[in-house]
């Protein structure tokens, strides 16, 4: 039964090749569409030539001529053959014909072909587009691969076979070929072996992927110069990928921007001997778009995975292994890496004369990936020593107006009854996306004040005469009252029958806090004095001290 294999080549290629040699097709008188050569090649078959041609009429004569490849035009031929039989095709008008080739010397030869069909049309010296490789053909027989399915415990594959040489001058007498280099290609793995005196070779490799094609290709050598190796079908191989499992010290990590975190664990692989440590395997935290960190297990299957705050991965996985590893499957565990981006908080705070505290400040962040929460807040806190014992005084809402990086958002609050001798700070409360930030403590203090022994004299006094005031201006530090030197208490007067005090002037105090100053008597009424208008940075307003004076 004939094979139906055909070599595809363009008719135009054959015609142009004929023109290249200075010959042109010759047809019988009154005929058209005569013989056309498509190709003449050895098809890696030693001692055979395959001619592919067609014509409008059955082809009745084919003769091939062979010339050494380097010989000049006009050189004598090295041999010829006309013993063609049809190899493929439905009839003699088109197909492939085969004939034996007998030449004295091995080498590469230029081929020309003479064709004649039943109408008498002929073409002579048509040049084949391909060269005849009249060379030793090297093939591999008895190929074996052990194990045929490598696994984690048996990773090394041994490939063996015999290199056989067939000389086209005696194609029926194949012989082992010693000293031949064999290229072994197993997917991405490439190695070589050399055949021994009996033609046998052995190569060892470890697969780098779970499935691959195994090719073994003999190469020309000094013992077989110019030898050719026909293409062969590869051996399809695959590995056994074993299940994998691992532990992780954490499945959630919250990091502040600029910080690093660590996850540790142990990886194992299931083998015929049970679960055992899995060394040299990549472990990574990643989601669809971000690889947050990666490492590799050590000889004992242990790993330490360090994660930075460069990339948040809130919906990620810890993955042990990769899909392309030849002897193991991959395993995953859910993991969430939250990053709290850095914030900056500022505070301006002071105590008023009446003891109230006014606090103002702002908060901002720098990273474009950060976002404000729905209702950001700042907590005002105080402490006696500025180091420990911090207490919350009030929670203040941050008014988000711009909602952009690097643009501060403000807050403000007035406290009516704060601690008047304490350290104060503001803490931005943050959320999973924004880190807390706290201002440096600021010491705010104001001392309570009083006026003791207040007395206006003389009493009674004549109208227009001076009135003098006695008393001591003091402040309280701890449990001790001390004088306020050079103070400026305010003097008020309420006429008899009135309910309203009117400011008169500022008095003073000497170095011991004693009041000094005089006014002229005008009418009956009550005099009052208090530290209320110019208390200074660290004094609270005092209550009024009063004294009634009768003016006559």
> Residue 290: which pLDDT band, with cuts at 50, 70 and 90?
confident
- Nearest-5° Cα angle at 234, 229 to 238: 150
Q: Residue 249 domain-assigned?
A: yes
Q: What is the pLDDT of residue 32?
A: 56
d(CA 210, CA 213): 11
Residue 335 and residue 290 share a domain:
yes
Range of the domain at 313: 244-340
- The domain that holds 191 is classified in CATH as 2.60.40.10
Residue 145 and residue 101 share a domain:
no
- Parallel, antiparallel, or unpaired: how do β-strands 79-81 and 59-68 relate? antiparallel
Q: Which helix (H) or strand (E) holds 411?
A: strand 409-415
Q: What is the pLDDT of residue 208?
A: 96
Residue 529 and residue 471 share a domain:
yes
Residue 142 and residue 130 share a domain:
no
* 242-276 residue pLDDT tens: 999 999 999 999 999 989 999 999 999 999 999 99
Question: CB neighbours of 41 closer than 8 A, spacing ≥ 6?
Answer: 7, 49, 50, 128, 130, 132
Q: Is the dihedral of CA 169, 170, 172, 174 positive or negative?
A: negative
Q: What is the pLDDT of residue 168?
A: 95
Residue 465 and residue 441 share a domain:
no
Q: Could you say which of 293, 316, 340 is where a domain stops?
A: 340
Mean pLDDT of 538-544: 92
Q: Is the dihedral of CA 353, 355, 356, 360 positive or negative?
A: positive
Identify the CA nearest to 134 among candidates 89, 81, 95.
81
Q: Residue 419 domain-assigned?
A: yes
Domain count within the chain: 5
Question: CB neighbours of 504 closer than 8 A, spacing ≥ 6?
Answer: 491, 492, 493, 519
pLDDT at 30 over 50: no
Q: Residue 26 domain-assigned?
A: no
Look up tokens 């003699």; give the residue.
92
- The domain that holds 284 is classified in CATH as 2.60.40.1930
Q: What is the pLDDT of residue 38?
A: 97
Q: What is the pLDDT of residue 263?
A: 97
Mean pLDDT of 127-136: 96
Indicate the DSSP class of residue 8.
-
Q: Residue 418 domain-assigned?
A: yes
Q: What is the pLDDT of residue 432?
A: 79
Residue 219 and residue 271 share a domain:
no
Residue percentage of the chain with pLDDT more than 70: 94
* 62-110 residue pLDDT tens: 999 999 998 998 899 999 999 999 999 999 999 999 999 999 999 999 9
Residue percentage of the chain with pLDDT more than 90: 84
Q: What is the pLDDT of residue 100?
A: 96
Mean pLDDT of 391-417: 95
Q: Any bridge partners for residue 378, and if so which?
A: 396, 428
Residue 542 and residue 453 share a domain:
yes
Least confident of 162-171, 406-415, 430-439, 448-457: 430-439
What predicted TM-score, i.e. pTM, was given to this entire model?
0.64
Q: What is the pLDDT of residue 374?
A: 87
Look up tokens 């041994």; give the residue.
158
- Parallel, antiparallel, or unpaired: how do β-strands 107-117 and 132-134 relate? antiparallel
> Residue 321: which pLDDT band, with cuts at 50, 70 and 90?
very high
Q: Residue 385 domain-assigned?
A: yes
Residue 396 and residue 304 share a domain:
no
Q: Could you say which of 284, 316, 340 is where a domain stops?
A: 340
d(CA 302, CA 305): 10
Mean pLDDT of 463-490: 94
Residue 164 and residue 248 share a domain:
no
Identify the CA nearest to 173 among candidates 184, 164, 160.
164
Q: Which helix (H) or strand (E) holds 391?
A: strand 391-397
DSSP characters over 67-110: EETTPPTTPPPSEEE---EEEEEEETTEEEEEEE---SS-EEEE
- The domain that holds 396 is classified in CATH as 2.60.40.2440
- Give the 3-state secondary structure of residue 25: coil
Q: What is the pLDDT of residue 13?
A: 34
Q: Residue 8 domain-assigned?
A: no
Q: Could you say which of 106, 134, 162 is where a domain stops?
A: 134
Q: Report whether 494 contacts 525 (CB < 8 A).
A: yes
Identify the CA nearest to 281 among candidates 245, 252, 334, 239.
245
- Residue 389 to residues 58, 470, 526: CA-CA distances in angstroms? 111, 43, 47
Q: Residue 2 domain-assigned?
A: no
For residue 416, give both structure tokens: 């009516």
pLDDT at 19 over 70: no
Q: Residue 506 domain-assigned?
A: yes
Q: What is the pLDDT of residue 373?
A: 87
């Amino acid at each position: 039964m004939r094979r139906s294999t055909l070599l595809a080549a363009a008719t135009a290629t054959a015609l142009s090749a004929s023109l290249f040699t200075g010959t042109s097709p010759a047809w019988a008188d009154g005929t058209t569409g005569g013989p056309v050569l498509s190709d003449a090649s050895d098809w890696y078959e030693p001692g055979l030539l395959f001619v592919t041609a067609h014509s409008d009429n059955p082809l009745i004569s084919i003769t091939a001529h062979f010339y050494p490849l380097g010989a000049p035009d006009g050189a004598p031929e090295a041999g010829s053959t006309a013993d063609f039989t049809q190899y493929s095709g439905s009839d003699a008008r088109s197909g492939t014909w085969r004939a034996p080739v007998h030449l004295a010397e091995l080498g590469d030869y230029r081929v020309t072909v003479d064709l004649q069909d039943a109408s008498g049309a002929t073409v002579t010296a048509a040049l084949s587009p391909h060269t005849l490789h009249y060379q030793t053909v090297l093939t591999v027989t008895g190929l074996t691969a052990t194990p045929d399915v490598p696994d984690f415990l048996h990773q090394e594959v041994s490939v063996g076979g015999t290199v056989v040489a067939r000389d086209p001058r005696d194609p029926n007498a194949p012989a082992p070929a010693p000293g031949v280099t064999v290229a072994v290609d197993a997917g991405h793995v490439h190695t070589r072996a050399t055949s021994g005196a009996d033609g046998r070779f052995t190569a060892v490799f470890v697969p780098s992927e779970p499935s691959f094609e195994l090719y073994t290709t003999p190469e020309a050598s000094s013992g077989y110069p110019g030898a050719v190796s026909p293409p062969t079908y590869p051996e399809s191989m695959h590995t056994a990928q074993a299940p994998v499992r691992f532990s992780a010290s954490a499945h959630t990590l919250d990091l502040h921007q600029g910080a690093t975190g660590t996850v540790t664990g142990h990886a194992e692989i299931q083998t015929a001997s049970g679960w055992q440590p899995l060394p040299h395997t990549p472990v990574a935290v990643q989601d669809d778009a971000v690889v947050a960190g990666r490492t590799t297990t050590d000889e004992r299957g242990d790993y330490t995975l360090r994660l930075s705050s460069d990339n948040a991965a809130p919906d990620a996985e810890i993955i042990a292994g990769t899909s392309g590893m030849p002897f193991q499957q991959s395993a995953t565990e859910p993991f969430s890496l939250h990053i709290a981006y850095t914030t900056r908080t500022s505070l301006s705070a002071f105590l008023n004369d009446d003891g109230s505290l006014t606090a103002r400040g702002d908060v901002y962040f720098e990273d474009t990936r950060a976002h404000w929460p729905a209702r950001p807040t700042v907590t005002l806190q105080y402490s006696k020593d500025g180091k420990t014992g911090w207490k919350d005084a009030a929670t203040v809402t941050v008014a988000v107006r711009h909602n952009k990086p690097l643009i501060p958002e403000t807050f403000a609050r007035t406290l009516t009854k704060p601690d008047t001798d304490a350290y104060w700070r503001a803490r931005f409360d943050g959320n999973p996306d924004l880190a807390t930030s706290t201002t440096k403590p600021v010491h705010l203090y104001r001392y309570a004040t009083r006026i003791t022994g207040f007395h206006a004299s003389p009493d009674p006094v004549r109208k227009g005469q001076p009135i003098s005031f006695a008393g001591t201006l003091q402040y309280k530090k701890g449990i001790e009252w001390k004088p306020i030197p050079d103070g400026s208490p305010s003097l008020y007067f309420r006429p008899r029958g009135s309910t309203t005090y009117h400011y008169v002037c500022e008095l003073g105090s000497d170095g011991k806090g004693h009041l000094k100053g005089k006014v002229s008597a005008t009418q009956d009424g009550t005099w009052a004095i208090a530290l209320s208008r110019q208390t200074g940075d660290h004094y609270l307003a005092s209550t009024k001290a009063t004294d009634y004076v009768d003016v006559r």
